Structure 1
Amino acid sequence: MPAPALPPFDPRDPLGLDDLLSPEEKAVRDTVRRWAADRILPHIAEWYERGELPGIRELARELGALGALGMQLKGHGCAGASAVQYGLVCLELEAADSGVRSLVSVQGSLAMYAIHRFGSDEQRERWLPGMAKGETIGCFGLTEPDHGSDPGGMRTYAKRDGGDWVLTGRKMWITNGSVAGVAVVWARTDEGIRGFLVPAGSPGFSAPEIRHKWSLRASVTSELVLDEVRLPADAVLPGASGLRGPLSCLNHARYGIVWGALGAARASFEAALDYACAREQFGRPIGGFQLTQAKLADMALELHKGILLAHHLGRRMDAGTLRPEQVSFGKLNNVREAIGICRTARTILGANGISLEYPVMRHATNLESVLTYEGTVEMHQLVLGKALTGVDAFR
């Protein structure tokens, strides 16, 4: 019998990774890709240049209608999607821009996840349905001006005053902060670190926006200021005590980054591939030169190895077997390789690579922030080093 005909080679899916996805997963991916192509890509260069994300509340409601907000959570209006579906959504959103993916990650994987996992039934019912629809935006206040990688050193403090809590402190680099209807704020107490739900408009609470950024420019980034903010007893998240609470939220968000960073890398790789096939120098397309082909081959290798890694971690999360160290493995590798892909793509585009007419430099600068938040390179190296050796080198 003759051998069956092989499928054609697809330069944009050289390993045939689409075969790993179910029809439902492809449908989710394609829906978000079309939305991003219609709502984000025509405007993102201008938004990035202006340093703003206009219409963020409308975008949040549209993302809610897509089921993208808190999509892995179950109940209270959340979609209950799989980890792989959520990962594909993160990839497609970040292929448009990291700022849009950050909006979704902070809303779902940090703020909503914290309420869903650690909140009371009353807190879940009060906040989650509106957040799932995008009617209420949330933020997550953990990082402080002097405490990033070491959240255990936080200075924000909550003290009891009768039946109330009074919070004082500052949080820094908070995505969605200035537009959030509720902030999940972590603070030290006499009983250890606790999480609090701080509604916008609470007396003493403000969220001034951080300007003059050269990365994540199409994103709302804020400081949170808590000046003796008085909250009722039911503002505390009853299920979270100690650092385990916020760190579990960060691990959930890191998983989305494992996928999302590859969206930025894919967009940059595809821009470089198209450019190399069209741009002529010395009488031929630059894609016909050996050095350019070597760059494209190496970029494709790292991009699609990263997608395989993300897919594997997603299947493990869906099976309930994904460990935090494995998420660190993915975050460390995929963001680092994504930045390398963007930088190599820029060299193929030459001087055009720094223009906002192409997405490459925008993605490269965004990924500098992605490399840092939810755990720096060094922190994830130490997480893996401890897992490999059994020796804690953090202190």
Structure 2
Amino acid sequence: MLSLLAIVVLIATLMTLFYQQVSRGIGSIVFVIVWLLSGFLAPWLVGLFPLVLLAAGVTLLNHVDLRQKFITRPVYQALGKVMPAIGDTEREAIEAGTTWFEADLFSGRPDWENFSHIHFSTLTNEEQSFIDNEVQQLCDMLDEWKIFHDLKDLPPEVWDFLKHKGFFSLIIPKEYGGKAFSPYAQSRIMSKIATRSLTAAVTAMVPNSLGPGELLAEYGTDEQKDRWLPGLAKGDEIPCFGLTGPEAGSDAGAIPDTGVICKGKIDGKEVLGMRLNFAKRWITLAPVATVVGLAFKLYDPDHLLGEKEELGITCALIPADTKGVEIGRRHYPGSPFMNGPINGKDVFVSLDAIIGGPDMAGKGWRMLIECLGAGRGVSLPALATASGEMGYRMTGAFGRIRRQFNTSVGDFEGVQEASAEVAAIAYTLEAYRHLVTRSLEDGAPSVVTAMAKYHSTEMMRELINHGMDIAGGRGIQLGPRNFLALPYQSTPIAITVEGANILTRSLMIFGQGAMRCHPYLYDELQAIQAEDKDKGLQDFDALFFTHAGHTLGNVSSAIFQALTGPYLSDAPANADAFSAPWYRLVNRYSAVLASTADMALALLGGDLKRRELLSARLGDVHSQLLIACAILKYHATLPRDEANDAHASYALRRAFSRAHDALEAFYRNFGFYGIGHLLKGLFFPFGRPCKAQAPSDDQIRKLGEMIMEPSSVRDALAEPAYISQDPEDAIGRVEATYNKLLEVEPAWLAFLKADGKGQLEGTSVLDKLKDAATKGIISESQVNAVNEYDAMRYDCLLTDAFDKNLKKVKVHAERPVM
């Protein structure tokens, strides 16, 4: 028994040393002392053979030459044989951009002091004015039904307004006539437009995301900036960017389009240039573009620039009317924004067309990776956030207005299961938008923006599907009254563009995240593949043992927190009673993620890249932890009331439940002789933590009721949106009816109750209302208001009907006689 106690003491000592990240030398001294003291409990520990083993182990770890000979070199050589080589394109993708707080979460030890200094961005006076005036005016001009089904394009006056009011110049520096708005302001602008018209939002967002404007501002020569940016800022030039093609969609690095350096004539003069051949598709704004950005592989077979023959992916900018360019046809992606193919055959341009000039030849992949952040982190999440804002408002209002079985449909628990999800997702999307756009102000975090693109658009899909379930036939039938069908129809666009979601999740989030966010992994791979093997071994020795201590420290942390609960864990100093336990849970899952990822990398090595189901689940955990942090940060910015707490609590449970589900699926499918089950037992010996349980029925009912009620959260989600007050508008009709219901609801419910009991006489609603007033059920002053509401309610529930040719709307809004 005492021997067992001694072993427990030694294991606990090791775990504590690793948990505290004690240096190798001091740790060795402490462990030797504890070993010797444990000899009082178990005398065999101080026998000759155990002491020799102890001395050998300590010497081996601390003597550089011995350690490298017997440990480091064999590991170094073994890994060199099994780890896949990192190609130039992959290296550029890994090294492109920056890391942010997501790296802390992947490390297993979030720095909450650093996180507490991250403050959400706010709008400047200029940005707020633009939203209140130009954006508001634009939204007033838009009729999405007319755009979608009649014009198949934006009206000419809307195009003119977008061009000349600066909507295409949000990212262009002020010295070139642009607005240079922050990522948060861009997101707010795009989401407000999207609450009114997806077509207009996509049209406005493309010049401000991946496109010539951003590439020129970041990498262009002074001559290129002077030539193009003023025209782009004024709207005189319309840009598009050709990246994807028939055989290169999400795998943009495999583009077959080529440029060959050669000599040719421009304006009668022989110049050194490129002959381009390309076939691009799905290019937004291509049919109306005046200037085309292109990505292609550049070759120099005659060595006119240097020794290298294959230079790599390059980005160039050419006028759309350049000889050999075929442009103007349209695709129809389910929404009538301008989108089409671009083809080029033997298009000759000078080397000055390369963005950044000839010195940037072959550096296009890194440029593209770093500039994808605007599309992934701003534009597409803005669309998703807009869906959340409108989905929350319309689903809640419609659930209260629509009645079945003499009950508001929003009061049925089955409906609340969907509407509570709508509420939580909308809250999460707004929180996530704030955190992601804030990250973009600090750099170009490629992992954060990949997470944002995937999870925001997937949450949008889920939210809109729930909304359609609740609206039922009212949401299915197309027409100018329908507030949900067009967003539903357009959802696949956001899912597909800027990298298909399936590949973003299964290849990018963890694949890039592990390399970018792990404190040692990428440097270790660089050391393994170093040409100077002696230097590589020296670097690997330091990295490997530091990495091992880091991993064992995270394992110890995860086990300690599993056994003791959150009490040994830190939270931000400014965390309140609501948020502190959640922050501590982030600590626990962060340590589990880091430990599990290291175990997977150690056992699977390069095969983990091919085990996409496993790596995607680790990416899901990483993403949900960042989402949880966004929710906690957003919760702190809103008034601390019941609605805020209820939404945040549900959203946090949703995030942690999904993170835990992903871990369980990982452990269940990991293999390796039960190691997955062992990890699960170590990290979750008492099962799933309470706060990582899916939301309870009580929470579902509570949020299902709240989404139908006025609240601080309802107001916060409406503030960035365009909410029409026009009772003839699809949104305005529901909004006006809901507001009228809030005004008359007590009298309306009293009337319904009496009518349901057969207490009222009359052949119309108005007759029965007058009878109810006569009998004292409602007051005389309420008769007309309730009657007006009933007419609005009936009109709100009607769906559009057309003539037989589906041309002219024929809606009969008159209430039937009772």
- Is this a same-fold pair by TM over 0.5? yes
- Provide the C-alpha distance between the structure 1 equivalents of 2:298 and 2:255, rounded to a whole number of angstroms: 11
Would the aligned equivalents of 2:279 and 2:344 in 1 still touch at CA under 8 Å? yes
- Structure 2 CA distance for partners of 1:61 and 1:47, relative to 1, 3 Å: closer
Indicate the SS of the match to 1:139.
strand
**TM-score scaled to structure 2, two decimals?**
0.43
Alignment of 1:288 onto 2:411: yes
CA deviations 1:53-102 (Å, max 9, x no partner) are: 1336x534423444332313323111111111111112112222333222
Would the aligned equivalents of 2:276 and 2:345 in 1 still touch at CA under 8 Å? yes
Alignment of 1:174 onto 2:299: no
Which residue does 2:214 correspond to in 1? 113
Which residue does 2:170 correspond to in 1? 71
1:314 CA drift (Å) = 1.4
- Structure 2 CA distance for partners of 1:36 and 1:346, relative to 1, 3 Å: farther
Would the aligned equivalents of 1:62 and 1:134 in 2 still touch at CA under 8 Å? no
- Provide the C-alpha distance between the structure 2 equivalents of 1:182 and 1:72, rounded to a whole number of angstroms: 17
Would the aligned equivalents of 1:143 and 1:172 in 2 still touch at CA under 8 Å? yes
Alignment of 1:102 onto 2:318: no
Alignment of 1:229 onto 2:445: no
- Provide the C-alpha distance between the structure 1 equivalents of 2:160 and 2:448, rounded to a whole number of angstroms: 33
1:363-378 pair list within 5 angstroms: 363-378=487-502
The answer for unaligned runs of 5 or more in structure 2 is: 1-119, 264-271, 300-310, 515-596, 613-818
> Which has the larger displacement, 282-291 or 370-379?
282-291
Which residue does 1:272 correspond to in 2? 395
Alignment of 1:160 onto 2:258: no
Would the aligned equivalents of 2:243 and 2:294 in 1 still touch at CA under 8 Å? yes
CA deviations 1:315-351 (Å, max 9, x no partner) are: 2222x14511011111111110011111111111111
Which residue does 1:144 correspond to in 2? 245
Would the aligned equivalents of 2:373 and 2:444 in 1 still touch at CA under 8 Å? no
1:265 CA drift (Å) = 3.1
Alignment of 1:125 onto 2:226: yes
Which residue does 1:34 correspond to in 2? 136
Indicate the SS of the match to 2:330.
coil
Identity over the aligned pairs, expressed in percent? 21
1:51 CA drift (Å) = 7.0
Which residue does 1:13 correspond to in 2? none
1:36 CA drift (Å) = 4.1
1:273 CA drift (Å) = 2.2
| 1:143 counterpart letter in structure 2 | T
- Structure 2 CA distance for partners of 1:248 and 1:98, relative to 1, 3 Å: farther
| 2:492 counterpart letter in structure 1 | E
- Provide the C-alpha distance between the structure 2 equivalents of 1:164 and 1:95, rounded to a whole number of angstroms: 45
Would the aligned equivalents of 1:306 and 1:333 in 2 still touch at CA under 8 Å? no
Would the aligned equivalents of 2:315 and 2:364 in 1 still touch at CA under 8 Å? no
Which residue does 1:54 correspond to in 2? 154
Would the aligned equivalents of 2:293 and 2:316 in 1 still touch at CA under 8 Å? yes
**TM-score scaled to structure 1, two decimals?**
0.87
Alignment of 1:302 onto 2:422: no
CA deviations 1:114-148 (Å, max 9, x no partner) are: 12222211111111112112221100000011111
1:271 CA drift (Å) = 2.4
Would the aligned equivalents of 1:70 and 1:113 in 2 still touch at CA under 8 Å? no
CA deviations 1:275-315 (Å, max 9, x no partner) are: 22222222233223233233222211111111111101112
| 2:141 counterpart letter in structure 1 | R
- Structure 2 CA distance for partners of 1:22 and 1:249, relative to 1, 3 Å: closer
Would the aligned equivalents of 1:271 and 1:358 in 2 still touch at CA under 8 Å? no
- Provide the C-alpha distance between the structure 1 equivalents of 2:483 and 2:160, rounded to a whole number of angstroms: 26
- Provide the C-alpha distance between the structure 2 equivalents of 1:222 and 1:345, rounded to a whole number of angstroms: 31
Alignment of 1:385 onto 2:510: yes
- Provide the C-alpha distance between the structure 2 equivalents of 1:54 and 1:29, rounded to a whole number of angstroms: 20
Q: Decide which of 188, 211, 228 is 1:88's aligned counterpart.
A: 188
- Provide the C-alpha distance between the structure 2 equivalents of 1:97 and 1:35, rounded to a whole number of angstroms: 13
Would the aligned equivalents of 2:190 and 2:382 in 1 still touch at CA under 8 Å? yes
Indicate the SS of the match to 2:274.
strand
Q: Decide which of 331, 339, 344 is 2:453's aligned counterpart.
A: 331
- Provide the C-alpha distance between the structure 1 equivalents of 2:224 and 2:155, rounded to a whole number of angstroms: 27
1:269 CA drift (Å) = 3.1
1:370 CA drift (Å) = 0.6
- Structure 2 CA distance for partners of 1:22 and 1:195, relative to 1, 3 Å: closer
Which residue does 2:66 correspond to in 1? none
The answer for unaligned runs of 5 or more in structure 1 is: 1-18
Would the aligned equivalents of 1:159 and 1:166 in 2 still touch at CA under 8 Å? yes
1:220 CA drift (Å) = 0.8
1:185-224 pair list within 5 angstroms: 185-190=294-299, 191-213=311-333, 215=334, 217-224=335-342
1:33 CA drift (Å) = 4.9
- Structure 2 CA distance for partners of 1:295 and 1:81, relative to 1, 3 Å: same
- Structure 2 CA distance for partners of 1:23 and 1:179, relative to 1, 3 Å: closer
Would the aligned equivalents of 1:262 and 1:338 in 2 still touch at CA under 8 Å? yes
- Provide the C-alpha distance between the structure 2 equivalents of 1:156 and 1:20, rounded to a whole number of angstroms: 40
1:182 CA drift (Å) = 0.2
- Provide the C-alpha distance between the structure 2 equivalents of 1:29 and 1:276, rounded to a whole number of angstroms: 30
| 1:263 counterpart letter in structure 2 | A
- Provide the C-alpha distance between the structure 2 equivalents of 1:27 and 1:212, rounded to a whole number of angstroms: 35
Indicate the SS of the match to 1:96.
coil
- Structure 2 CA distance for partners of 1:155 and 1:264, relative to 1, 3 Å: same
Would the aligned equivalents of 2:285 and 2:339 in 1 still touch at CA under 8 Å? yes
- Provide the C-alpha distance between the structure 1 equivalents of 2:459 and 2:294, rounded to a whole number of angstroms: 32
Max radius of gyration: which structure? 2
Which residue does 1:8 correspond to in 2? none
Which residue does 2:437 correspond to in 1? 314
Indicate the SS of the match to 1:329.
helix
Counting matched residue pairs gives 371
Would the aligned equivalents of 1:268 and 1:363 in 2 still touch at CA under 8 Å? no
- Provide the C-alpha distance between the structure 2 equivalents of 1:28 and 1:338, rounded to a whole number of angstroms: 26
- Provide the C-alpha distance between the structure 2 equivalents of 1:186 and 1:234, rounded to a whole number of angstroms: 15
- Provide the C-alpha distance between the structure 2 equivalents of 1:268 and 1:311, rounded to a whole number of angstroms: 19
- Provide the C-alpha distance between the structure 2 equivalents of 1:77 and 1:248, rounded to a whole number of angstroms: 24
- Provide the C-alpha distance between the structure 1 equivalents of 2:146 and 2:499, rounded to a whole number of angstroms: 30
- Structure 2 CA distance for partners of 1:51 and 1:393, relative to 1, 3 Å: farther
- Provide the C-alpha distance between the structure 2 equivalents of 1:328 and 1:243, rounded to a whole number of angstroms: 16
| 1:201 counterpart letter in structure 2 | D
- Provide the C-alpha distance between the structure 1 equivalents of 2:404 and 2:132, rounded to a whole number of angstroms: 36
- Structure 2 CA distance for partners of 1:145 and 1:236, relative to 1, 3 Å: same
- Structure 2 CA distance for partners of 1:125 and 1:59, relative to 1, 3 Å: farther
Question: Whose helix proportion is higher, 1 or 2?
Answer: 2
Indicate the SS of the match to 2:186.
helix
| 2:439 counterpart letter in structure 1 | R
CA deviations 1:223-276 (Å, max 9, x no partner) are: 001011121232111246141122222222111212222113322332222222
Quick one: higher RCO (CA 8 Å, sep 6+), 1 or 2? 1
| 1:383 counterpart letter in structure 2 | M
